[in-house]
Amino acid sequence: MDKAEEYLGSHGKLYSLGAIVHNGSELRRLESEGLEVIDNAKFDALSGSSVLIRAHGEPPATYETASRNGIELIDCTCPVVLALQKKIRKAYAEVHPSCGQVVIFGKREHAEVNGLAGQVGGDVTIVQSVEDLDRLDYSRPIELFSQTTRDPEQYSEIVNAIRSRQPVALKVHDTICKQVRSRYEHLPEFAAAHSIVIFVAGRESSNGKVLFDLCRSVNPRTYSVNDPKQLDSGWFRDGDSVGVSGATSTPSRQLAEVAAALESLLAGS
């Protein structure tokens, strides 16, 4: 987002291939400054423009199109995702000659997963849950990866379920982002430490949905907002301890805005 704001400040116009962040209010703010979110069809038709690659990353085909059409790329792919892309290419090169299979635990059609699968021409198997594991061939070696923002406990369930089927060979790669893993580990403790939790995230954020549900499973008085205006004084009781948290796509600026609005709301109640 800093890169986008810096570019817009000096050029006034920038395309983003897909939403730069799964957060509606942040997108609207950036669009008012000149950011235009485009899809792959419009990207393919561009020439001589500047396009931001978001943190989710892109497959090699995107870079080939940019080179062919004279598009300047502002590449903001997350370093963790870049490292994962490299690992998948390496694993595929090693196991493909011996009929091995690359398996990714992730959300189908998610931008990051599309970029990961594209590293090897789509020759991967994507699993979203234990129910998908019947699609694997356990007589062939398996190289297992996770989308960087998935639930670590669900990934462990996938790993254990595969092992229980006694594959001929299984190599598990720990590819969940450390910041995401830390948030999954500490959020239940945070939720339990407060009588009410305000969770700040965009409705489009899949990571936000999962973390919100995790928080609410510990503290039923967990409410999701994307804007300070959505705060409801009726949620609060005298003596409440209020915690504010958010998704990986929630900027600290937005958390601070909600916290400030809460202080004002509670001071006037």
CATH number, domain with residue 194? 3.40.1010.20
Statement to judge: residues 93 and 135 lie in one domain: yes
Placement of tokens 């990051």 in the chain: 112
- Regarding whether 225 and 141 lie in a shared domain, the answer is no
Cβ contact 88:146 at 8 Å: no
Domain endpoint, select from 43, 77, 111: 77
Give the residue carrying structure tokens 């870079």: 63
For 167, the token pair is: 């594959």
Residue where one domain finishes, among candidates 22, 57, 77: 77
CATH no. for residue 47?
A: 3.40.50.11270
Claim to verify: residue 6 and residue 21 sit in the same structural domain: yes
User: E strand or H helix at 224, and its extent?
Assistant: strand 222-225
Q: Do 92 and 123 lie in a common domain?
A: yes
**Whole-number pLDDT of residue 269:** 63
Residue type, 210: V
Provide the pLDDT for residue 107.
92
12 and 27 within one domain: yes
- Indicate whether 221 and 248 sit together in one domain: yes
User: In this structure, are residues 116 and 147 in contact, taking their beta carbons and an 8 Å threshold?
Assistant: yes
The distance in angstroms from the start CA to the end CA of the chain is 35
Residues marked active site are found at 112
| pTM of the full structure | 0.87
3-class secondary structure per residue, 71-95: CEEEECCCHHHHHHHHHHHHHHHHH
How much is the pLDDT for 132?
97
Nearest to 198 by CA among 259, 149, 152, 263: 259
Shared domain check, 165 and 108:
yes
Taking alpha carbons only, the member of 248, 243, 130 closest to residue 195 is 243
In terms of Cα–Cα distance, which of 190, 195, 198 is closest to 232?
Answer: 198
Domain match, 73 and 119 both: no
For residue 259, how far is the Cα from the chain centroid?
A: 24
Task: Check residue 24 and give its pLDDT.
Answer: 80
- 167 with 103, same domain? yes
Domain with 211, as residue range(s), is 179-268
Per-residue pLDDT, 198: 97
Considering the domain architecture, whether residues 132 and 60 belong to the same structural domain is answered as no
In this structure, the answer to whether residues 99 and 172 fall within a common structural domain is yes
Secondary structure percentages of the chain, helix, strand, coil, to 5: 50, 15, 35
85 and 72 inside one domain: no
Token pair in block for residue 193 = 């430490």
Nearest Cα to Cα of residue 92 among 82, 77, 102: 102
Tally of structural domains, the chain: 3
Q: Is 164 helix (H, G, I), strand (E, B) or coil?
A: helix
Spell out the per-residue pLDDT of the chain, length 269, in tens.
Answer: 889 999 999 999 999 999 998 878 888 889 999 999 999 999 999 999 999 999 999 999 999 999 999 999 999 999 999 999 999 999 999 999 999 999 999 999 999 999 999 999 999 999 999 999 999 999 999 999 999 999 999 999 999 999 999 999 999 999 999 988 888 899 999 999 999 999 999 887 878 888 999 999 999 999 999 889 999 999 999 999 999 999 887 888 889 999 999 999 988 76
Last residue of a domain, one of 51, 77, 103: 77
Q: Residue 142 pairs with which residues in a beta bridge?
A: 101, 170
For 77, phi then psi, to 5°, come to -60, 130
